[in-house]
Homo-oligomer: A and B are copies of this chain.
Amino acid sequence: MQANGSVGRLMQALRCLPGVGPKSAQRMAYYLLLRNRDGARVLAESLLAAVDRVGYCERCRSLSETALCAVCASPSRDQSQLCVVEMPTDVYAIDQAGCYRGVFFVLNGRLSPLDGIGPVELGLDRLEQRLAGGEIKEVVLATNTTVEGEATAHYLGEMAQRHHIRTTRIAYGVPMGGELEFVDGATLSLAFNGRREF
């Protein structure tokens, strides 16, 4: 009965959210309608505002409400260091860590031929132009250390080296606070092979 009409359409629409199946969507719809209609209105307005206002930074492809994002527009950033990441969230995480003062290039994905995501979808033509511009002195590859992230880093590394730009990859190893017992074998091998003088 209740699954038709506006309630049913709301349940269906909620399923567009990642990780939300039919049961969660039902729970969310009833919760909003029975307990938090103000929250539902605010959510609807935030969705529309974000979809309308948030575009992509024309230089780094991160999400931005202005033509240039805050990082690209900042005069205190080192424009000769370019860190390539998969997602806008990675920019935020690296920035929070405070370890890097260069600029970014955001792929908004990773090479994944099976899903139809190739160099064009990741904006690599624009990255190539930027590498050809001569301003970049170092490319830091900070894609995820997954199979697809590694393949993407490999592809980007070859691209940067064609332009004779120094290319680095973030270090592999044991994470801080990690107990060796619980670290997987692949990571341990990389940590041993990458060992440094103490």
Contacts and interface: CB of A to CB of B under 8 A. Distances in A.
Interface of A: 1-3, 5-7, 9-10, 12-14, 16-19, 24, 26-34, 36-37, 39-51, 53-54, 62-63, 65, 69-71, 87-89, 91-92, 95, 108-109
Contacts of A92: 1-3
Give the interface SS of chain A, mostly helix, strand, loop or mixed: helix
A33 to B, nearest CB: 6
Contacts of A88: 2, 30, 34
Contact of A49 (B3, B6, B108): B6
Given A1-B71, A6-B53, 16 more contacts: A1-B70, A1-B92, A1-B95, A2-B89, A3-B92, A10-B46, A12-B46, A13-B45, A14-B46, A16-B42, A17-B17, A17-B32, A19-B27, A30-B63, A32-B47, A33-B50
A27 B18 contact: yes
Nearest to A28: B17
B33 A63 contact: yes
Contacts of A6: 46, 49-50, 53-54, 65
A38 to B, nearest CB: 9
Contacts of A91: 1-2
Contact of A18 (B10, B13, B28, B46): B28
